[in-house]
Amino acid sequence: MDKFVIKGGIKLSGELNTSGSKNSSLPIMVAALLAKGRTVIRNVPDVNDVKHMIKVLEYLKVRVKFNKNILTIDVPKKLGYIAPYNFVRKMRASYYVMGALIGREGKVDVSLPGGCAIGERPIDLHLKGFRELGCDIKLEKGYVKARCKKLKGKELFLQGTKGSSVGATINVMMAAVLSEGITIIKGAAVEPEVSDVANFLNSMGAKISGIDTPVLKIEGVENLKPTEYTVIPDRIEAGTLLVASVITGGELFLKKCNPSHMHVVLEKLKEIGYKIEIGKDNIYIKSSKYLKPVNINVLPYPFFPTDMQAQFISLLSLVDGISIVSENIFEKRFMHVPELIRMGADITIESNKAIIKGVKKLYGAPVMASDLRASAALVLAAIAASGESEIRRIYHLDRGYESIEKKLRKIGAKIKRVKE
């Protein structure tokens, strides 16, 4: 098992490129199952979640090649239809095979999902959507077993108690593209990653309209064809790298990103006091001596993303005054806070709120990551802290950030990966 050893307190400045979106790549890889033949997907990040999804596809009898961020997926005429526990427990996104295999094969057996321990994420909306399209679904011995002869389009509502669901929207959309008739998804998630999957499906011959809106219209087609497609930039990695530079008092020119997907994050950075210049596919950010605390309300897109909450808590720990971050999506997503407190942060948790009183310094310490974005938050705290930190369980980080230590070293960080 690896860990990071980080010597903090060094200004990070320079230029970096953004990697492709992990949260787009995973469902797009699965959506390729809907067309027999060879599909090529570009700008795929070289992260462990992608490598794990490759194993899932190979288990389903698909041939996959991955080289220099290009995935080549050869889909056979006959697919497997079982995604076993050993795969799905390691990565929640494995459940995307449900939508593709229901649409393509009319049957699927999928173990109930695992993933980061950040709170309850039931799949009831996914199952509701499949049932309304005509699937017979049973839960047996920890598996979801879905069977259907022919999916029929229908108008359905997919919002739950916490709003729209990215996973359910994508899964039901994948199932519906080969259905009979028209499916209308109301309450659809509008995250850029949902739109990316929809655009990928359209490049295969699907007929999806209403993209970027909460009402998706899907006209079923008889078949889809293989395609070539380029994945959007990763807005969460982009946000994390911007914070990495300014938390150390540095500056960064970030290229190959999509600022239009990051509006609220950029506005919050401006509100804190950082200087930002935005181009078509680049962002320049510079630190400032005059920073002020902010309040953040975490909600589904287009509002502040839950996947940037932890990183901003690290940042706000060093901003004088009191900031309040309200997490309204996942109830267990403050597990990084006790580790930040060990580094000298002054944070109090009250229900779904983190109350952050800025301190002048953080101090290096041995800490342990609990999930993907918590890992990023601890790295950010460590590069800003005085002294040396050790971050354990960085396998969480490897799930979603491509060579983050190499990128940080490129702009001046003293970070090394060592075996425990």
Question: Cβ–Cβ contacts within 10 Å for residue 380, how many?
Answer: 29
Across 101-203, the runs of DSSP E, i.e. the strands, are: 107-111, 136-140, 143-147, 155-157, 182-186
Among candidates 241, 236, 235, which has minimal Cα distance to 404? 241
Residue type, position 337, single letter: V
d(CA 61, CA 180): 27
| Whole-number Å distance between alpha carbons of 420 and 410 | 24
Which sign, positive or negative, has the C-alpha torsion 218, 220, 221, 227? positive
Residue in 35, 30, 39 with CA at minimum distance from that of residue 110: 30
Distances 33 to 18, 103, 121 between C-alpha atoms, Å: 27, 10, 25
Answer left, alpha or beta for residue 68, where phi above 0 means left and psi between -120 and 50 means alpha: left
Instruction: Give the helix ranges, DSSP H, for 43-83.
Output: 48-59
Q: Which entry of 116, 135, 148, 257 is annotated as an active-site residue?
A: 116
Distance CA 46, CA 399 (A): 9
Measured from the Cβ of residue 349, the count of other Cβ atoms closer than 10 Å reads: 13
Kindly write down the DSSP assignment for every residue of 318-380, as one continuous string: TSSSEEEEEE-S-TTTTTTHHHHHHTT-EEEEETTEEEEE--S--B--EEE--SHHHHHHHHH
C-alpha of 251 from chain center: 25
148 is catalytic: no
**Known catalytic residues?**
116
